[in-house]
Structure 1
Amino acid sequence: MKKALFRCKTCGAEYDARKPVFRCSCGEPLDLVWDGSGIDHSQRCQAKRYSAFYPFEDEEWVPLGEGGTPLVEVKAFAAELGLADVRVKNESANPSWSFKDRGTAACVAHARALGYSRIGTVSTGNMAASVAAFGAAAGMETFILVKGDMAEEKMAPVAIYGVKLLRVQGAYDMLYSESLRLGEERGIYFMNSDVPFRAAGSRTISFEIAEDLGFSVPDWVVVPTSAGGNIRGIINGFEDLLKAGMTDRMPRFLCAQAAGCSPIATAFAAGAGKVTRFPSPHTIAHAIENPFPPSGNRTLSELRKYSSVAVSVSEEEIVKAQADMAHRGLFGQPGSCVPLACLRKAKAEGTVAEGQSAVLIMTGSGLKYTAAFAAHRLNWLDCSLEELGEKLK
């Protein structure tokens, strides 16, 4: 691994990235500082195409074909909202069906560079499957810690990779901190939701959006937000592009949350500088149901820096957005559809202006949370072979 730094944007402290540092001593998250940049246009996988944006040697990557996901234009949404352009970045096309694969690939490369043979994560679902998949590919002993109430339908798709899967009772944010403590004690690289290289992996979402748009920048990038690592990484990615002279401006960002668990949107609306624990979280958008996001404070700071916003929407608005996206061929899990609902609300309130452009980040596949079908009025018909002709009239 080449020399690189982690920097805290809150206090300015710097750390050697060639050491296992996961968080600043001030309690805030760390970001990768790396001056390399470049695109290998002959490659599709992020580990190859954007390798110059990372300080890793080729042999430290264990790619599974992550990245290179479609940026789908949806003219119907643009027409509905009076916008010049609306596109959906379909992250369900990643190997484990979610955006998490980008950060996991970068974290596994970092773990291998530091000599780790054991990795792990704390997850509500998407990250569990991602780390399990990449851990298996890398031949590393892998520990997956999930919430004590994680649905059965989410357990087997993680266990199939042969990992050590533990369903842990207790507060999710406490599990996060305890995993980092135990990881340091027992030699396990815990690549949790906002560790430096997980956020750094999300930068490639920005790189691909810019590339697909001819290195122009949309007016808005709308990101469903849980811990805050993904939106941090996407913001950093656009900063990278601007610094490298590949783009000429920054987009504005919309931090999209469910009203049933909206600590960042609540703090933003109150003008607060820090998030507080959201009481009694409950939402169909389980993938973004984090009541006390570890990158919440940083997200608030970044939103204000770039004249951006945080918006929350109701359960009814989320379910409608999921159905509307599916009717356009894009079936995302409920958390992935929160951006469309939030864009609608922001446009109705005048935050997003007529004729602007937006990219919605669809973070994961709808097939990852089939229990959400119960929220929709789905129907079908049964018939015999003899009746088929009549039914097809």
Structure 2
Amino acid sequence: MMRIQSRLSNFMRIVLLGWLLLSIQSVQAGDWKTESLQVTDAEIPLQILPASTATRARMVWLPSEYGILSQERVLAEHLSEMGVESWMADFYEALFAAPTPSSLEQIPATWIKTLIDKSLEDGVPVWILAPNRAAKLALDGLVLRSQEGVTSTPGVILLNPNLYVQTPQPGEAAVYWSQVDAANLSVTVLQSELSPWRWRLTELAQHFANGGSDVFLQMLPKVRDRFYFRPDAMPIEQRAASHLAQTITRAMYLQLPYLSKARPLLNSAALEAKTEVQADKKSLDLQPYKGRQSLALSLFDLEGNQHDLKALQGKVVLVNFWASWCPPCVHEMPSMADLKRRYRDADFEILAVNLGEEAEAIDQFRAQHPVNFPILLDQDGIAVKEWRIFAYPSSYVVDKNGRIRYALFGATDWMQQDTLQKIGALLDEKR
């Protein structure tokens, strides 16, 4: 069942309001202490920050592929002032490995299950907070508990979760981990607005609903993924990071009525399908396109002129999806302009589709970074969904007959020899 807004009784609202008023007292945060979490095959360091006030809740932080971050420890200190105790398990130290996506995949589900079981022993309300790829860790442990017949679960807060088996190649459909469809949880997804994943929120929520989960979705406006620990954080992202603890506690309040609900495993069939994982093939060269064809693209540019890809048949067209807040997108644009100049006398066009930004912001960008190709507006994400964009920038090269021949995600140098040869060969083709 998908719930975007909570329906709380008047009594529950009064209880939560009282908790909020007590929580905003300014209290000195306590000191971290270190314990050990013993599992059958490892001893895992467990850092605990007690609540500065009476403990009202416990937050179990699962480290993402970036490890335990200093910014997350600061967040935990803010939560401590609100009566929330924090637990941070250092799985990477137990693995004798540095935090990386491949190291994260080595963390056993039994470790997560043991940590969750221990956190629930004393009856304090518990939430799991899992950012980025750590969302998969959370589901691993929680689904394992469900498979063993446990029907009580903590609340779950996923911050910009990455639950794709791997980043889809341009034009391909996303494949989610089977645990997403199997999990029966109370889960909140906090998703940054300036991200291609924002357009997949409803899709993700439906996958969770397949297992019986109650799902809450919240968009974090005008910030990028990893906004709270990005070295290039914009002022608005810094402000959002300073209020992130309050955002998290509000998500906790909304979930309170659902924590007592028994949550048996309802969709075990989802786990029977084995997910084949292949190594991500990341290349900065144009790759042959294998996805759907005849994709629609009809958008207006900044001057109000409509551009329809069908009307450009007879030309080779580079369709580039970008945003001004995406540094790699900005980095590759000068070479795109050089490419347009190189083929200015040929049947060649570039359409740069902007992701959901206001025209005024794009105008300001264009004043600082002049381009010689039209910038199209996709403020409702219509083209992003149609063209299955999961990463920025993403680019497609369409031949004279309107067929997509090449694609890539990531920034590239459009003037490199291999790229020029491929585009030149398309220009030489007869219709």
Please report the TM-score for the alignment, with normalisation by the length of structure 2. Answer: 0.28
Greater helix fraction, Structure 1 or Structure 2: 1
Greater strand fraction, Structure 1 or Structure 2: 2
Asked which structure has the greater CA Rg, the reply is: 2
Please report the TM-score for the alignment, with normalisation by the length of structure 1. Answer: 0.30
| Structure showing greater relative contact order (alpha-carbon pairs closer than 8 Å, 6 or more residues apart) | 1
